[in-house]
Amino acid sequence: MGPCGLLPSCAGSRGWRSSGRCPGGQSQGLSLQGPRLRGRGGASEDRRPAVVPPEKQDGAQHAARQTGSGTPEGRGLHQAEIYHATFDWPPEPEIQKRLIAPAGISGGETARRLLAYHRNIARLLPSYPKILKVIAADQPCVDVFYQALTYVQTIHPSNAPFTPRVLLCGPVGSGRSLQAALLAQKYGLVNVCCGQLLKEAVADKSEYGELIRPFFEKETAVPDNITMKVLKRRLDRQDCVERGWVLHGFPRDGGQALLMDSMGYKPNRVFFLNVPFDSILERLTLRRTDPVTGERSHLMYKPPPTMEIQARLLQSPKDSEEQIKLRMDRFYRNSAELEEFYGQAITLNGDQDPYTVFEYIESGIINPLRKKAP
């Protein structure tokens, strides 16, 4: 258990929400900022809306609350329903007759709780100087909820002291696409997948798309100069310049890295995701697609719901063990050149929970690069 009864799992990918009596003061507020309960990347809680009740209305609301000794049909049998004499009075006469006032909501008791609240809140709020938003509770509860939700869903500003330009390198199946999507979702970086850019160019029948199409039809590599022109057009757009970007799928070797660098596209953070061959085989060779619905499955991590669906699943030729070996061999033949070119690259173990990998990437972006010994 962590502070205020928070389980250690709350510090993982799901996150947590604390309400009620904790944190009730400055000491509890500071204890919630301990290492295990901080937001990803080492910062304290990502968002903390504080709903502040008006004194008179809060007392009146508490005094009018009543609890049903039984529950309406269709609700839980062991959890009493809470009603309010003004705002939420039950229409059924039989429920009205059995309502009782719960303990602890008299005027005197509510006043004591309000005094304790106002005594502690003045010391608690300064514990969250950069992430606090105060929301007045003297309005419809739906409005309070949407104000809190809007604040929580606001894109987090990056703690990095620069505009992030992130390059993710790794073999097929190492999780580059997922990590790029997580960075884009949380920090608003532009997710630039080089392979997807080439496909979009062909689909749009653009000038570059017509140059790329013959190579797609022959299933051969697109020349570096054409790829770089498509990539340049995307990285030069205003959103990439202002928000930063996370690139994956290019460069794949030292020559491509040199070409990108010579054109002025220099990532300020480079990560290599290392995953053992057996783990990559497990991730990719068990992937299947339903030809009827297009739904994707994984025989181990996301099996189909019925045997009927499983019988019709198809495997992409690219996910065969032979194809995966070829693509991995190609990556590792060139990875030494990439690692040498990007001398300050950070190597991570990609064979673990994806959100753990994401936290390491965040830490690598926020913290200064370590100087390597000569």
Residues 347-374: tens digit of each pLDDT: 999 999 999 999 999 999 988 776 655 5
Residue 137 CA to residue 208 CA, distance in Å, equals: 56
- Record the tokens describing residue 281, joined without a space: 């085989």
29, 97, 186, 279 from 11: Cα distances, Å: 16, 45, 16, 26
Q: Is the pLDDT of residue 145 over 80?
A: yes
For residue 23, whether the previous peptide bond is cis, meaning omega lies within 30 degrees of 0, is yes
Q: What is the mean pLDDT of residues 68-78?
A: 42
Q: How confident is the model at residue 45 (pLDDT cuts 50, 70, 90)?
A: very low
Residue 60 CA to residue 67 CA, distance in Å, equals: 16
132, 285, 328, 351 from 277: Cα distances, Å: 45, 12, 8, 10
Look at residue 28 in the predicted model and tell me its pLDDT: 61
Look at residue 285 in the predicted model and tell me its pLDDT: 93
pLDDT in tens, 190-219: 999 999 999 999 999 889 999 999 999 998
Domains and CATH numbers, the chain: 24-152 (3.40.50.300), 165-366 (3.40.50.300)
Q: Which of 180, 169, 164 is nearest to 337 (CA)?
A: 169
What's the DSSP call for residue 88? B
